[in-house]
Copies of this chain bind each other. A is one copy, B any other.
Amino acid sequence: MVDRRSNQSGEDSLIARYFRPIATDPGAFDLGDDAAVLKAEGCEIVVTTDAIVEGVHFLSSDPPDTVARKALRVNLSDLAAKGAAPAGFVLTLALRKVDDAWLKSFAQALGEDAALFSCPLLGGDTVSTPGPLMISITAFGRVPAGKMVHRSGAKPGDRVVVTGTIGDAALGLAILRGGNVADAAANDGSARNLLIGRYRVPQPRNALASAVRDHASAAMDVSDGLAGDLAKLCAASGASAVIDLESIPLSAAASDLVSRRIVGIETLIAGGDDYEVLCAIPEDRVEAFAEAARLAGVPVTSIGMVVAGASAPKFIDGQGAELALERLSYSHF
């Protein structure tokens, strides 16, 4: 309904209350128009879109501030892997009802992350749904013309490099769902919190974007599982890869669970939600890339090599045996 005095519908007033204060970019026009303006500034615009759905990508019990950060950061992670500098985003929010406490916390965290990553809110749409909460974000980045880093481009001989650690988020989700991982982690509060935090709030590697752009022959973010995403990068590049399982970077918490045989390494490399950058670095760029990563404060680890061939990447254990993977990654269908 529209309040005739204020000319505002419930939807407009919701937007005014929670989202206008965080839409500080001049191109957002205070969210008072039907569209936003994004300036290219002589660059090409990189566009990525990722939605998160309650019960699928996040849990109903996840706090609203972490839901907001995850919704934006999964998109920021794509921009980082493509070598693009964040330029802004638009938000579609499908809500069952207006829950003021939830929205207040959601919008505040979203605004904080928008500022932290220099990725301003430009606009959006708020709709009612009888279904699960869904947040769809389309994010924009800028790259010099022709400089977006692709999935294709990896060449035999390139190093396979990942940022951060792999598998923590899958363990965090397993803990939130209960069961044997939750039981095993119950006595170590700090490990438990770290793993859950990694599931709820990804750490996108935007600080590494220019190093990726300068040095990587191919890159993507790891969102659906390292094994499956590497298979996609290899397929796009017309190549294969051999990965040394023991060199895959694990957090202390994940290492502990693996060494206690609570989970196998295959669970970690097929689990989703890492939001790390996976890239191929030509041998003669490895040192320069590592130095740029050090300057950016982003840990990077070489885990194997791109090789010729069309088969799925091989994961080799300490005894030289190939790991059999039943499942490479998460898929919605």
Contact = CB atoms under 8 A, between A and B. Distances in A.
B332 A128 contact: yes
B127 A32 contact: no
Interface residues of A, number: 85
Main secondary structure of the interface of A (DSSP, over half): mixed
A168 to B, nearest CB: 21
10 contacts: A4-B312, A9-B224, A35-B48, A47-B88, A47-B138, A51-B92, A53-B94, A92-B136, A98-B333, A134-B134
B47 A90 contact: yes
Interface in A98-142: 98, 122-132, 134, 136, 138, 140-141
A55 B127 CA distance: 12
Contacts of A131: 53, 129-132, 134
Contacts of A35: 46-48, 78-79, 82, 84, 141, 148
Contacts of A1: 327, 331
A92 to B, nearest CB: 4
A98 B47 CA distance: 26
A39 interface: yes
Contacts of A331: 1-2, 9-12
A87 to B, nearest CB: 9
Interface of A: 1-2, 4, 7, 9-12, 14, 29, 32-40, 43-53, 55-57, 78-79, 81-82, 84, 88, 90-92, 94-95, 97-98, 122-132, 134, 136, 138, 140-141, 143, 145, 148, 150-152, 220-221, 224, 228, 231-232, 234-236, 312, 325, 327-329, 331-333
B94 A134 contact: yes
B127 A51 contact: yes
Contacts of A39: 40, 44-45, 145
B55 A46 contact: no
A10 B95 CA distance: 28
Given A127-B56, A150-B29, A49 B138 contact: yes
Nearest to A98: B333
A11 B333 contact: yes
B53 A148 contact: no
A73 to B, nearest CB: 14
Given A49-B123, A92-B49, A78 B34 contact: yes
Contact of A33 (B4, B56, B151): B151
A46 B50 contact: no
Contacts of A333: 9-11, 14, 95, 97-98, 126, 128
A110 to B, nearest CB: 15
A79 B123 CA distance: 14
A2 B327 contact: yes
Contacts of A145: 39
